[in-house]
Structure 1
Amino acid sequence: MLKRRRFKQTTTLTERLADEAARCREEARTLAPGRRREMLLRQARQDETAMQIDAWLRSPGLRAPT
């Protein structure tokens, strides 16, 4: 049986997503309009949406469904 490689993250999920979104937007700025640029902008939007969902899930007002 294979053993999983585990490691502790040094930064939070929100920080990693913000860094990735900024990197994608910066790279997209250097490219001409086209497929690669659109994919980078789409990834940046997905990262920002993931940050919003993570913040919502961690909010103190969130309650379990009853």
Structure 2
Amino acid sequence: MLTRRRFKQTRTLDQRLADEAARLRDKARGLPPGREREMLLRRARQDETAMQIDAWLRSPGLRAPT
């Protein structure tokens, strides 16, 4: 039977998403306009959206997003 390899995260999800979004934006800044740059910016926006959803889920009231 195979055992799962566990990995203990040292940083929170929010920190990892923020770092990844910043890294992607920096990388996109150095590229000329085009498909690759747009894909990097899209992934950065997705990370930022994930941060907002995570914050909403952790909020005490769990109010619907506006």
What's the TM-score once normalised by structure 2's chain length? 0.91
Within 2, Cα distance between the matches of 1:11 and 1:36? 28
Equivalent residue for 1:59? 59
Kindly report the root-mean-square deviation, in angstroms, between the aligned alpha carbons of the 2 structures.
Answer: 1.1
Task: Give the secondary-structure state (helix, strand or coil) at the position aligned to 2:37.
Answer: helix
The aligned amino acid for 2:11 is: T
Q: Percent identity?
A: 83
What residue in structure 2 maps to residue 42 of structure 1? 42
TM-score for both structures, normalised by structure 1: 0.91
- Gap runs ≥5 in structure 1: none
Aligned length: 63
Q: Which runs of 4+ in 1 moved over 3 A?
A: none
List runs of 5+ in structure 2 lacking aligned partners.
Answer: none
